[in-house]
Structure 1
C-alpha cells in the first residue's frame, strides 16, 4: 500500500507541541483563528512531559509573586489539583500532566492537532513566505501537507525556519560582539548539553542493583562532590546528567542519548553501591524509570526583528512591544556537561547565593519583546521557545519552560490578531501592540510594564465597596524547637542584610514598626535599621541614590524572641507615599536573628543582600516577623480596579477582614444602568512559589471555592450565577442572560481554607454580539 497523502488548510499552523507551542496553539485558537498543532511525540509538553520529566521553572524560583499565569497557570493548577504525585526537582512527571494538556487541547474550539507527526520539509510561496509544511505521521504512512497564513516554529531546533532559509545562530557569541558579561572571549559553536533523568522507588526492602558492563564506571568522589554534581536525592532526577559537546546537539542526538543512558546508570550505581554518603539511604530504592528522550537546552536560535542580549534582562530593558517576562537567572551550563572539568558554574560553587558569579547572573523580572519572536527573513513566520531571537548568553535565562510558555501564548495571540486585523505579523509591534497587550492581560497574563486599560471593561468606571477589608498589622512568630524547625534557623541569622516589604495605605502614616529578634550572644547587640521607598516588590536595590525615609540603631539585650519597637514617625510630610511599598532593612549582625513570620501576609515579601548592593528573594520565608502601627489598610476594595492582578507596585488585592465570618462581598456600582453579559474574575493563589512548591491534590487556600454573582434589580439582589468547588484563579463567566443593573456583587461564600475572601480583579463586559 502506498503512502497516503492528505492536505489540510488552516489560518495558523504551530510546529512543536512543547509548552511554548502548546500555549501558542491554544491562544491562537481561543482568539478565533483556525489552528493546527503539530507535535512529533505521542504526548504534549516537550521537556516537561512524562517522556523527559523536566520540572517547569520560571521567574517564581527567584522572585516572590512572579509565577507565570495565563494558559500555563491553568494547566499547572489543574494538574496539581488532580495529581497524587509529589514534585521534586526532575524525574517526577507522570501521565497526569500529559492528560491535563491533552484534555485542554480536546476542549479548545478551533484547534486541531496531530501527534506523532514530524516536519519533513517546508514549501515556500515566493522567497519570503511559507506556503506549507510537509509532515509525516509516524506508524501511519500518512504524509500531511499543511497550508496556513501564519506559521509558528516551536520545534526547539528551528526546523521550519531552517528549511525556510532563515538566518540562525548556534553557539556562543564572542565577548567583543555585544560586550556581554557572560560571553566568552572567543566565539565558538559550543552549546549547553542535553539531559535525561531517572526516578527510583522505595520498595520497603533491600533492592539490589547491578549495573550493566556498558554503564559508565564512576568511582571518584571528586567527580561528584568537587565538580558540582551533588547526588543529594536518592529519588532520582539530576539535571546535571548532561552531555552535549563533542557531539552535535542536533545531528548527534542519538549518540547523546546513548551516552546519557550509560552515565545515568553509572550515576545510580555510584549512589546505590559506592557512595558512603548515599548507600544506606538508597538501600531500599530501586530504579523505577529512566528517560530515553534527551531534554535539549540549546541548538539553533532564529534571528528576528530584535536580538535580545544579556544586557536586556540584566538592565530590565523596557520594551514598547513587551509581551512576556522572565526571571530565571542567567543559567549557562558548561559545554560538555559530564565530560567537562566542572558542572554548571552555580552548581560547581555549591549554589552559594552570594558569590560574584551569582550576583552577576541574578536578573529580572524583565520584559521580552514581540520582535524577538518575528522572523526577519520570512514574512509569515514567528517563533516561540528556546529558538527565539536571543544571544547564547541571554538564552541562559529565556530558555526555561515557564518563560517559553508565556512567550508562546503571546505569539499565538499576536498571530490571531494580525489575521483578524489583516496586517502583516511584522507590523504587529508597531500597529497592534496595544491590542496584543490588553488581550494578554484580559486572558490572565501579567506584563511588568502594562495594566488593564480596556475601554470595554465596564468595571473600570464603577465605584467599588466591600463588606469588610483586612488591615495589615503584621506577622507574629512561630516559636518551637521541633524536628522540622530549629529554635534559631540558619536563614534567620543576620549574616547579611535582610529586608521586608511593607505596604503603605492611602493615609500614608507609619508611626511605629516592630520586629521580633533574638540576641544569640551574652552581651547587648546593636543592629542598624533603615526604611527605603520601593518602586515595586522586585526593587532589590540597597542604594537608591536618595536619602532613606528613616534610619536608626536598634539595641537588643541578650535573650530570645524580643519585640523591638522603632518609633519612625513617617507620614506624607516626611516623604511617605500613599499606596506604595517601603522596605524595612536590618543590616548584618551575625549575633542576631530576625525571625520569620508565622503567616504569609499577601504581598509582603522579604529578601536578603547577595552582594554588590543587590538584594534577592528570600526563598525560605516570604514574610518576616513585623508589626506596624497604625494597621495599614492596604487591601481595600478599590484594589480590584488597579489593572494589575498580583502584587507589584502595590498589593492590588481586596481582602476581607479575617476576623469576620464568610460570606463576604465586593460590590461595583455605577451612576447609570449598565447591561452586563460577561463577568471575569481573578482570584489569589498559585503566585508565590514556583511549580514544585505545591503539594499533591493542592487547591490554594486563598482561592474562593464557592461564590455567586448578584445583580441589583427592582430594589433587591438577584442571583445571576453561582459557582461551587472552584480552585482556579482566573474565571470568565458568560451570564446565561444579560442583566440591566446599577450594582453588581461578587459574594464569596467559602474559600479553599483561608479565613478571608479575596479578589485581584473584576471585569465586566456588555453581551457579545
Structure 2
C-alpha cells in the first residue's frame, strides 16, 4: 500500500476504534485472564485489555514467577487445596504440556485458553489512559492506546473489572484506596504495626543461567553493583540458583511502588548484574566457569501497591480464625507473608511467613467497590488490610477469586443488576452454585443443584473399594522423622491399624492417634490416643494399634509413628484417591502476642516419593461408595468424597438409573487430578505429565449400551459433554477403561442436565 500525505498544520488524529461489550477487564495477568474466560463461557462479550505483549502478568515469561496459592509448595497443612475452576484447568494443562516448567510454553497455554473463547476480544500491548463517567459513581467507558498498531480504543460497557495490579482503573475512577500498613488499632490485628506506615513489599527481578560446556567470560555493565557486601546475605548466593528461587532479590519497599517502578527496575538491574559479576569473577564459584547469563527480566514483578476498599476489608483474624461468611466466593491458604521494606539490603530474613491451621474464606464483599457502582476488583488489589494482603496477594488465590468476579458479572448482565445487588442472600447462593458447578472449590460449601438429574436417580457401581490393606512393596523408610498415615474415618469407633516395621535394636515405639481441631482442617493438633509399644529387634514385625476412641462425625484421622532412629517403616507402591502419607517437617513457633498460632507441619512428599505406609485396617474402610458422586464435593474434605472401584474389578463401571426416561443435554464428569499437588507453573519440574489417579480412557453408554461419548486420552479434572441433540434414556453408565497410573478407578462426580449451561470443553 502506497501512501503520500502532505504536511498539515492542523496535526493528525490517531486511528480510533470503538468497541461495545458486556464487561471490560483491565489487566491480563492470571486474575484478568481467569475472570475473562469465566465470564465469556457464561455468555458475556468481554474485552480484555493488557498493556504487555503476553498474558499472565507475574506468571508470564516476562517475569517468570511460579503460580502458587493455598498449596504453598505442599509445605503447609492445607491438604487438597489447589484452587479449582479455570486456574486449575490452566495448571493441569501446563503440567501435561510443560512438566519442565518452560515459561514460554506457559505463555502459549494461557494465550490458547483466551483466543479459543470467541466471546473475548483481546487487546495486547494496550494501556488504559483515561476513563469516561456517566455519573460520579459510575464508569461509562475507557480509552486505551496500543503502541504496536498506533490505535486508540474507546470501549463502552455496563460493567468493569480492575485486574491491573496497581489498580489504574479504580484509581482513575476515584475509588477509595490504601497503600502501606494500617495501624494495629484499626482492625485489631496483632501482627499489624502499632502505628500506620507507608512501607511496602518490594519488586523482584530474576535471571536465568545456563551451562555452555566451555569457559565463558563476563564483563559487567558500568551500572552493576560493585560492592556485593552491600547485600547482607551475599554469602547465600549459589551458582546453580536462578529464576524465582531468588525471590528475595527484592527492592523498592520504601519507595512509591507505582510511580517509582522504573527507578526500582534500574536498581534491580544493578543488583542482578552485580550478583552475576560476583558469581563469575570473585573466584568463589569455580563451578561457574562455563555458565553464561541466559536471561534477565526486563520488568520487575510487583508485590504490593494500591489496595481498594470494598464493603468489607479482609483482616488477619479472618485468616487465622478461618472465619466463615455467607457470601464466600473464594479462598486462600498462603501464609501471611510480609517482607522487610529494605528487601535484599535488609539484615532481617527475606520474609515472615505465618500460616493458619487451614484455608480461609474470601467473601464477595471484598471484590467490588464501595464507591463506584459498576466496578469489580480482581487480583492483588482486592479489599484487604495490609496484613491480610500478605496472604491474598499470591497469583492462584487472586485468579480463583477473579473467577467469582467473572461469574458475578454474568449474573449482573443476565438479571440487570449491579455488583452490590448480587451480594443479597438469594443471589449470592445462586452465584455460589454457578461457581461450584464449574469446579470452583468453596471451603465449607457443597453443590446442591436442583437441576442435576443424577441426584434424582439410583446410583450403583460394579464394585466399591473395601480397604483392608495397603500392601507392602515400597521403600522401607527410617523413622528419622515422625510419619503418619491419613485415613478417612467414618463416625464410630476408630479402626485398629497395623504397621509393618523393621527394628534394629530393642526400643519403645511411641504412637499417637490424632485429628484436627475442626473436621475440615488437616493440622493434626488434637491427640485422641497415645500408645507406647515395646519392640524387640527384628524385621517385618506387624504392630497393631488398637483404638478405643469414638468419633461423632466423618473426618480424617492421623495414625502417627513418632521419630525413632531404631525403627524403619515399610511403605507401599499402592496409591488411592483420598489417602496420603505425611512426615512431620517443622513447627510454627511465632513470637508472643502477634495473633498467630503455634502448631506442627505434617506434609506429604511429592511423587514419585510420598508412598502410603504399608498397613492393615480392621474393620476395613468402606467409605468409597458410588453414592458419593452426588454429595456435591469434588475433592476430599472430611472424607474422600469419591467412588473408588475395587482393586480386583477388571471392568469398573458407574451407573445411574431413573424410573422414567430422562432428557439429557449435558453431562459433567469430575476426575481426580490430585488437588493436593502444587502444580508450580515454571522452574520446578514435575515427575509426571498426567496425574496417576485421573481417568484416562472412558466410555459413556445409554441403557441400550450405545456409546454416547468416548475419550481415550483425558488428563483434565473436568470433562463436560454437550450433546448436539439431547438424548432420552433411563440409564447412563460410565465405563472406566484406564487411569494414568496403576491405581483403582475413581470419580468425584457425575452430573446430568436437561439443558446445557456451559459450552463444551
Tell me whether the two structures share a fold, i.e. TM-score over 0.5. yes
Structure 1: gaps of 5 or more residues: 347-357, 481-486
Contact 1:326 1:364 in 2 (8 A): no
Q: 2:639 aligns to what?
A: 650
SS at match of 1:669: strand
- Residue 361 to residue 74, structure 1, CA distance change in 2 (3 Å): closer
Alpha-carbon distance, 1:103 to partner: 1.3
Alpha-carbon distance, 1:537 to partner: 5.4
Given the alignment of the two structures, is residue 502 of structure 1 paired with residue 487 of structure 2, yes or no?
yes
Alpha-carbon distance, 1:184 to partner: 1.8
Contact 1:327 1:363 in 2 (8 A): no
Q: What does the per-residue CA deviation read over 1:628-675, in whole Å, with 9 as the maximum and x for residues that have no partner?
A: 1232123211111121011111101112222333x4211111223211
Alpha-carbon distance, 1:681 to partner: 0.4
Would you say how many aligned residue pairs link Structure 1 and Structure 2? 723
Q: 2:544 aligns to what?
A: 565
Q: 2:532 aligns with which of 544, 553, 571?
A: 553
Q: 2:522 aligns to what?
A: 539
Q: 1:408 aligns with which of 402, 406, 410?
A: 402
Given the alignment of the two structures, is residue 614 of structure 1 paired with residue 599 of structure 2, yes or no?
yes
Q: 1:349 aligns to what?
A: none
> How far apart, CA to CA, are the structure 2 residues paired with 1:136 and 1:540?
50
> How far apart, CA to CA, are the structure 1 residues paired with 2:220 and 2:477?
44
Matches of residues 255-654 of structure 1 in structure 2 within 5 Å? 255-274=263-282, 276=284, 279-346=285-352, 360-430=354-424, 431-475=426-470, 492-494=479-481, 499-504=484-489, 508=492, 510-517=494-501, 522-532=505-515, 535-536=518-519, 538-540=521-523, 542-543=525-526, 548=528, 550-558=529-537, 562-568=541-547, 570=548, 575-577=550-552, 579-587=554-562, 598-605=573-580, 606=582, 608=584, 610=587, 614-620=599-605, 621=610, 623-654=612-643
Alpha-carbon distance, 1:371 to partner: 0.4
> How far apart, CA to CA, are the structure 2 residues paired with 1:674 and 1:298?
53
> How far apart, CA to CA, are the structure 2 residues paired with 1:528 and 1:707?
42
Q: 2:713 aligns with which of 722, 725, 733?
A: 725
SS at match of 1:104: helix
Q: 1:664 aligns to what?
A: 652
Given the alignment of the two structures, is residue 82 of structure 1 paired with residue 97 of structure 2, yes or no?
yes
Given the alignment of the two structures, is residue 147 of structure 1 paired with residue 126 of structure 2, yes or no?
no
What is the root-mean-square deviation of aligned Cα atoms in Å? 2.6
Given the alignment of the two structures, is residue 54 of structure 1 paired with residue 41 of structure 2, yes or no?
no
> How far apart, CA to CA, are the structure 2 residues paired with 1:56 and 1:342?
26
Q: 1:681 aligns with which of 669, 672, 675?
A: 669
> How far apart, CA to CA, are the structure 1 residues paired with 2:264 and 2:676?
37
> How far apart, CA to CA, are the structure 2 residues paired with 1:179 and 1:281?
51
> How far apart, CA to CA, are the structure 1 residues paired with 2:660 and 2:488?
34
Alpha-carbon distance, 1:322 to partner: 0.5
- Residue 222 to residue 159, structure 1, CA distance change in 2 (3 Å): closer
> How far apart, CA to CA, are the structure 1 residues paired with 2:503 and 2:88?
43
> How far apart, CA to CA, are the structure 2 residues paired with 1:403 and 1:468?
38
> How far apart, CA to CA, are the structure 2 residues paired with 1:687 and 1:295?
27
> How far apart, CA to CA, are the structure 2 residues paired with 1:560 and 1:143?
76
SS at match of 2:702: strand
Contact 1:534 1:580 in 2 (8 A): no
Contact 2:464 2:646 in 1 (8 A): yes
Contact 2:468 2:618 in 1 (8 A): yes
> How far apart, CA to CA, are the structure 2 residues paired with 1:598 and 1:436?
42
Contact 2:474 2:571 in 1 (8 A): no
Contact 2:358 2:522 in 1 (8 A): no
Contact 1:234 1:282 in 2 (8 A): no
Alpha-carbon distance, 1:37 to partner: 0.5
Alpha-carbon distance, 1:41 to partner: 0.4
> How far apart, CA to CA, are the structure 2 residues paired with 1:643 and 1:275?
61
Alpha-carbon distance, 1:581 to partner: 2.6
Alpha-carbon distance, 1:341 to partner: 2.0
Displaced runs of 4 or more, over 6 A = none
> How far apart, CA to CA, are the structure 1 residues paired with 2:614 and 2:395?
34
Matches of residues 187-206 of structure 1 in structure 2 within 5 Å? 187-206=196-215
Q: Could you tell which deviates more after superposition, 652-661 or 325-334?
A: 652-661
Q: Could you tell which deviates more after superposition, 508-517 or 138-147?
A: 508-517
- Residue 659 to residue 505, structure 1, CA distance change in 2 (3 Å): farther
Contact 1:534 1:581 in 2 (8 A): no
Structure 2: gaps of 5 or more residues: 1-11, 589-596
Alpha-carbon distance, 1:452 to partner: 1.1
Alpha-carbon distance, 1:613 to partner: 5.9
Contact 1:37 1:111 in 2 (8 A): yes
Alpha-carbon distance, 1:499 to partner: 4.2
Q: 2:745 aligns to what?
A: 757
> How far apart, CA to CA, are the structure 2 residues paired with 1:319 and 1:691?
28
- With structure 2 as the length reference, what TM-score do the two structures score? 0.89
> How far apart, CA to CA, are the structure 2 residues paired with 1:756 and 1:37?
42
Given the alignment of the two structures, is residue 33 of structure 1 paired with residue 18 of structure 2, yes or no?
no
Contact 2:239 2:287 in 1 (8 A): no
Contact 1:218 1:267 in 2 (8 A): no
Contact 2:159 2:374 in 1 (8 A): yes
SS at match of 1:529: strand
> How far apart, CA to CA, are the structure 1 residues paired with 2:189 and 2:611?
32
